[in-house]
Amino acid sequence: MPAPSETNAHSERVLVPQSVFIEKLNARGQKVGFACVGLDTDIDSPRFPEHIERFGFGYDVDLFNRGIIESVYDLSGTIKINSAFYEGLGSPAFATIRLAIQHIREKDPEIPIIWDAKRGDIGNTNNGYAKLAFDHYGVDAITLHPFLGSSFLDDAGERQLEALAPFLEREDKGMFILVRTSNPSAGELQDLPIDITKLTPEYRRRFGDMDELREMTGQDVVPLYQILAYKVAKHWNKYGNCGVVVGATYPEEIAAVRSIIGDMPMLIPGVGAQGGDLEKAVKAGINSKKAGILINNSRGIIFKSSGSDFAEAARGETRQLRDGINAAIAA
């Protein structure tokens, strides 16, 4: 078992194990940096290179991915594969995802691979999702939805993991829980104000109070995304293998989440095509160890050029992202 580490500097300082995944992530960050390249390989994009013949059956996607991976692997702290762009291929999806993972492992087995699948259901359904992610694909981490919750207090007052348990109990893997996303309508639910002084006795009995969150924020009324961040850090991170997802388009929210989760890792998408400010995102998200961030750029890297130089252009953009992150940290 890895050595314990503090996952929430603002809480009761309960020590939890630091997972194998978090150790791998930290080691990679120190060695290579914190740029996360997203393989959002949309074959229908007008930026998909024209010279790659449309073979069908995922072959064209594989050729493209191979070129990107070979160009950026040594500059990437992590590589994220968005499942939607592969599942849209139909029957070739499984093989195409497996090939992308194989290419990454061949270039460097130490690169943490995140499967951006945004799964989240009741426990017995999540068993299947977890098996696909970790046993069949063999990825290091997955993105998850929090909406079904994942912990409760039993009759003895002991906290038990529930809905996301098939993921969370994979002690050697990583989980990135959606907390504050980068899309324009994210605030419709995620910014919903909650008065945590008005939690019912039944809620407190089943799920606990949030007095500690009130102390952290100094507020009685907090937005839902802050409650989600608190839940992940305080109640779901039993094995020290959790992180959160917060969009780069909302740096103030990034800072608020960081103040709640302590040094836990944060996946930050939204730099590039979505318009997030890199410097602001880094300064808001960096933890006390000047680490703990995964700054993701997908389309802005892989579709930097639609010509035969697409791989070289992706490498240049990845280097620029890595150097920009380092400059922001140094500043």
Six-digit token pair at 98? Answer: 């497996």
Q: What is the pLDDT of residue 2?
A: 42
C-alpha of 148 from chain center: 18
Q: What is the pLDDT of residue 17?
A: 60
Confirm whether 234 is a catalytic residue: no
How many separate helices (H) and strands (E) can be counted in the chain?
Answer: 14, 14
Q: Where are the domains of the chain?
A: 4-330
Q: What is the pLDDT of residue 57?
A: 62
CATH: 3.20.20.70, 3.40.50.970, 2.70.98.90, 2.40.170.20. Which one for 4-330? 3.20.20.70
Local mean pLDDT, 10-residue blocks, the chain (331 residues): 40 55 93 97 92 74 96 98 94 94 97 97 95 97 97 96 97 97 93 97 96 96 98 96 96 97 96 82 96 96 96 98 96 88
Q: What is the pLDDT of residue 59?
A: 78
pTM for this entry: 0.92
Catalytic pick among 31, 118, 231, 234: 118
Q: What is the pLDDT of residue 276?
A: 82
